[in-house]
Structure 1
Amino acid sequence: MGKIHSIETMGLLDGPGIRYVVFFQGCKLRCSYCHNPDTWNVNGGTEISAEELVKKAIRFKPYFEKSNGGVTCSGGDPLLQPEFLLEFLKLCKKNNIHTTIDTAGFGQGNYAEILKYTDLVILDIKHVNARGYKDLTGGRIEEYKEFKEEVLKANKKLWLRHVVVPGVTSSREHLLGLRKEIKTFKNVEKIELLPYHNLGENKYTGLGIDYKLAGIKPLDKTKVKEYEKLLVS
């Protein structure tokens, strides 16, 4: 049995084609800009079996199959429920469904085994140095690097994502470091710079959690285009 936060049946941003997106409950990180703090607690959410979950996904297979879509396991971080994730991915592949995991690489379990049943990895690069990583997420960059090594060994197709926060991850020095990090990967199909937004700030108030980036204004999307040019120059 696993715990899920929610499901999006017709996702268009979390992998190729139309996606059936399953948001897993639980995350080890506490990213300052996280807009879903309600996914953090692994004991929250709704309990469901892998069999029941794949049956739900199969109902939408006619829709996502036409667009070369599939199922995306997001979160939270799906790697925090490795046994449930693996069982679900195996059932998806048994039913000829394209699989994607959207992760920051923070979890537990046998990553190599999980990646056997994963067609695409959407990897969120939070920061490029240990101090910045710790300050922004509360996590250790070494854990991200451990998952990265498994992805490289498995030779998986990749989409890389990075949230640009004004004054935090927006400097030229930082972005050049990000460009260097991106070049260490292979099979990268897509690079996405995501502009910081504060749409989840009200959730923090409701949950009684301090919002660390209070006062920082959302990043203009045109600015992101400038940063993207720097990454490919």
Structure 2
Amino acid sequence: MAAPSGPALPHCPPPAPAPALPDGTAGRAVTPAGAATRRPITGAVHSWDLSTGVDGPGTRFVTFLAGCPLDCLYCHNPDTRRMGNGRRTTADEVVGEASKCTAFIRAAGGGATISGGEPLLQPVFAGELFHRFKHELGLHTALDTSGYLGPRTSDSLLADVDLVLLDIKSWDRALYRRLTGRPLEPTLDFARRLADLGKDVWVRFVLVPGLTDPADNVDGVAAFAASLGNVSRVDVLPFHKLGAAKWAALGREFTLADTPAPTPGQIEAARARFTAHGLPAV
């Protein structure tokens, strides 16, 4: 998932940074989408922005939800981990902001992406947004997720998702738990479910020298992704330290501060392992 960082594109300004919520209850949707008598559906939203090239095809309106069950060592958005770091926001507000950009987004071959944090921590809110992005605004939709909370995801939510950006952070189970604090299997189960549904998937793999770069680890992810039959692209994302200042601001130690970014040669070698399994890798 990409941190909101670039300037706003014409006619679609992002909001000012959201204040922290006074409690941890934000983002729990108050009623199911489509209910006959409907109160506003709300969620904990960290921010939104326009992004090009890293959150799905084309220029995209990206909504970053707050809250994540993983605690990744290399997370560059640690300020999105707690739901209390979001702002209680209605689906109407988010869709209203996206609607200001739809003509530009369509012309740029883009769509709407929900990222985070972890969107599936707020499945009703995320589902409402996907439904309205797709059916009210006519936008291509993408879900950026670790897949860990796949069991929370209804088939109706996935029906409104055109593309899943699925983070598979390691094939080595012990390393995956070390990187995230969670087990790998829920992500693999979710990947298999997406394959059964025929859902288009881009696998995302962060290349961290000295951690995720061993050949057998990369090959394990590549072989699994190739076996699914629905992975149309792999993004090999080079590790970086752009989020280090956020870790410091939160009073947390960034334990990978001395880890170097991968070299161009290391990145190309990882991509070659994916392409050797028949997967387009960028």
State TM-score, norm by structure 1.
Answer: 0.95
1:229 equivalent in alignment to 2:262? no
The question of 1:53 aligning with 2:107 is answered no
Greater displacement, 101-110 / 61-70 = 101-110
Q: Quick one: distance in 2 between partners of 1:19 and 1:113? A: 22
Q: Which runs of 5+ in 1 are unaligned?
A: none
- The question of 1:103 aligning with 2:116 is answered no
Which of residues 100, 121, 131 is equivalent to 1:90? 131
Contact 1:51–1:91 (8 Å) recurs in 2: no
Q: TM-score, normalised by structure 2?
A: 0.79
> 1:146, 1:180 → 2: CA distance?
15
CA distance in 1, matches of 2:100, 2:88: 19
For the Cα contact (< 8 Å) 1:195–1:221, is it kept in 2? no
CA distance in 2, matches of 1:221, 1:19: 27
Task: Check 1:10–1:63 CA distance in 2 against 1; reply closer, same or farther (3 A cut).
Answer: farther
Give 1 or 2 for the bigger CA radius of gyration: 2
Runs of 4+ in structure 1 deviating by more than 3 angstroms, as ranges, are none
Q: Runs of 5+ in structure 2 lacking a partner?
A: 1-41, 277-282
Paired residues for 1:60-71 under 5 Å: 60-71=101-112
User: How much has 1:75 moved relative to structure 2?
Assistant: 0.7
| Aligned-residue CA RMSD (Å) | 1.4
Bigger drift between 145-154 and 211-220 goes to: 145-154
Q: What displacement does 1:94 show?
A: 1.6
SS of residue matched to 1:203 = helix
Provide, for residues 161-214 of structure 1, a one-character-per-residue CA deviation record: whole Å limited to 9, x for no partner. 100111101111212212212212222221111111111112111111121212
Amino acid at match of 2:73: S
Matches within 5 A, 1:117-128: 117-128=160-171
Equivalent runs, 1:1-233 vs 2, <5 Å: 1-95=42-136, 96-107=138-149, 109-233=152-276
SS, match of residue 184 in structure 1: helix
Asked if 1 retains the 8 angstrom alpha-carbon contact of 2:68 and 2:80, the reply is: yes
Q: Which has the higher contact order (CA 8 A, sep 6+)?
A: 1
State whether residues 147 and 187 of structure 2, in contact with CA within 8 Å, keep that contact through their aligned partners in structure 1: yes
How big is the shift at 1:21? 0.7
Q: Helix, strand or coil: the match of 1:101? A: strand
- Give 3-state SS (helix, strand or coil) of 1:32's partner: coil
SS in 1 for 2:152: coil
